[in-house]
Structure 1
Amino acid sequence: MTLPDGIVRRAFDGRERLATSGEPVYGEPTDGQWRVWDAGRSKLGAMLELGMDVPLSGGESVLYLGAASGTTVSHVADFAGPTYAVEFAPRPVRDLVSVAADRSNLFPLLKDARQPETYAHVVESNLDAIIQDVATRGQATVAARNATFLDEDGVLLAAIKARSEDVTADPEAVYDRVLDELEETYEILETRSLEPYHDDHLGVVARKQ
């Protein structure tokens, strides 16, 4: 797998790890301009670490859904172009605003990803990618509603959280149901369990239909 421009593998503490160039955010190890992208704290980082074929080359325009305090989206902003970061909880958005202070291409939005009409006036259209990491039921619905922002061949990179959909159901059954719903809007290109980095999570790479 070829990594997007702006993401490298470097030796930290005697082993090779993913890294991006930017100001540190969450106490991650650094080496000069490079900072470790901790796959154990990032679903997208786990997708990359596990060798999933993520169709990004660097410089893409991105809508990030479920940005929380900015752990993963800070790495995304290090290698991407304009990056719109949606988070509905006020407390983590305060941290996200601090992260954005060091990244002129990162735009925090205190919004609910289930209601894209509330930020449609801010987010540009024809984006290259949606990155989704939301802890809510209806994750396929969220991805479908936000597809309106994507270019005709834009991609979705999603971490499906089985326990957020149904805490009592078998995760594999949950994944099947979510993927069936996603296929109404997206062509599924690749899926993979994110273990051992994240239990009961499925990484999904898809392209807009």
Structure 2
Amino acid sequence: MKQIFSGVYKKGNNLYTKGKNLEEWNPYKSKPAAAILNGLQNFLVKKGQKILYLGAAHGTTISHFSNIVGEKGIIYGVEVSDKIILKLIDKVRKKKNIVPILEDARFPENYGWIGKVDLVYEDIAQRDQVQILKRNKVFLKEKGIILIALKAKAIDSVREVKEIYREVIEELSKDFEIIETIDLEPYEHDHLFIVGRMK
């Protein structure tokens, strides 16, 4: 088994993160894992980081991020659905470094108490996904990192996927230096993983 990023291990074509135990990181259930297996060079989640996670959902990916940032890191997981956040709370109950937040990520002022973070991760399949991310950039430290799992068909179900990717990258480039983009096929259809840094 080989460590390929901070806290991320690979054996054959399988990925793992290590909390109290080694946990398999399934690329069909977690978009960062899909990006890494597709050759991502800049996976910038690291030990000790403070992370704002938009779209925490059922807790699969955030749980792996928790393993990576470790005890000295912290992750604020924003989820809009009260039903889903109950499942999230149940899944991450033993993870002391995850703070679930029941809020709409369109209104970052409602969780402004979190302060500045090193990294914002967004996985929100909504038409206004880019705008939501830009509203949350207020939390980023200088040269802070963004990771986005972009679902093209959520933005526009009719237009060409690559055209949507181009437009989104152009829009994000106004505020962020785009470091890397990775298509998530075959694990996720019509998804692009984007890594950027505040200008």
Name the TM-score, length of structure 1 as normaliser.
0.87
Deviation at residue 3 of structure 1 after TM alignment: 3.4
The answer on 1:159 being equivalent to 2:149 is: yes
Counterpart position of 2:190: 200
Q: Percent identity?
A: 35
Q: Which amino acid aligns with 2:17?
A: T
Residue 124 of structure 1 corresponds to 115
Count of residue pairs brought into register by the alignment: 193
Q: Structure 2 residue aligned with 1:142, among 132, 144, 147?
A: 132
Mapped pair 1:41 → 2:51: no
Instruction: Determine the structure 2 residue equivalent to 1:20.
Output: 17
Task: State how far apart, in whole Å, the 1-side matches of 2:98 and 2:13 are.
Answer: 27
Amino acid at match of 2:122: Q
Distance 1:69 1:99 in 2: 7
Work out whether residues 45 and 65 of structure 2, in 8 Å CA contact, stay in contact via their aligned partners in 1.
no
Q: Which residue of 2 aligns with 1:103?
A: 95
Partner of 1:93: 85
Structure 1 unpaired stretches of 5+: 24-32
CA-CA distance at 1:99 after TM superposition: 2.3
Cα distance in 2 between the residues matched to 1:179 and 1:136: 16
Q: Give the counterpart letter for 2:111 in structure 1.
A: Y
Gaps of 5+ in 2: none
**SS state at 1:119 partner:** helix
CA distance in 1, matches of 2:8, 2:87: 23
Match of 1:113, SS state, is coil
Report the secondary structure of 2:112's partner residue.
Answer: coil
1:124, CA displacement in angstroms? 2.3
Contact 2:151 2:192 in 1 (8 A): yes
* Partner Cα separation in structure 1 for residue 6 and residue 55 of structure 2: 24
Which of 36, 39, 44 is residue 51 of structure 1 equivalent to? 39
With the length of structure 2 as denominator, give the TM-score of the two structures: 0.92
Give runs of ≥4 in structure 1 deviating > 3 Å.
none
Residue pair 2:25, 2:33 contacting (<8 A) in 1 also: yes
Superposition CA RMSD, Å = 1.4
State how far apart, in whole Å, the 2-side matches of 1:54 and 1:6 are: 11
Per the TM alignment, residue 157 of structure 1 is displaced from its structure 2 partner at its CA by 0.7
How far has the Cα of 1:169 moved from its partner? 1.1
**SS state at 2:96 partner:** coil
Give the conservation status (yes or no) of the 8 Å contact 2:13–2:37.
no
Match of 2:76 in 1: 84
Amino acid of the structure 2 residue aligned with 1:124: G
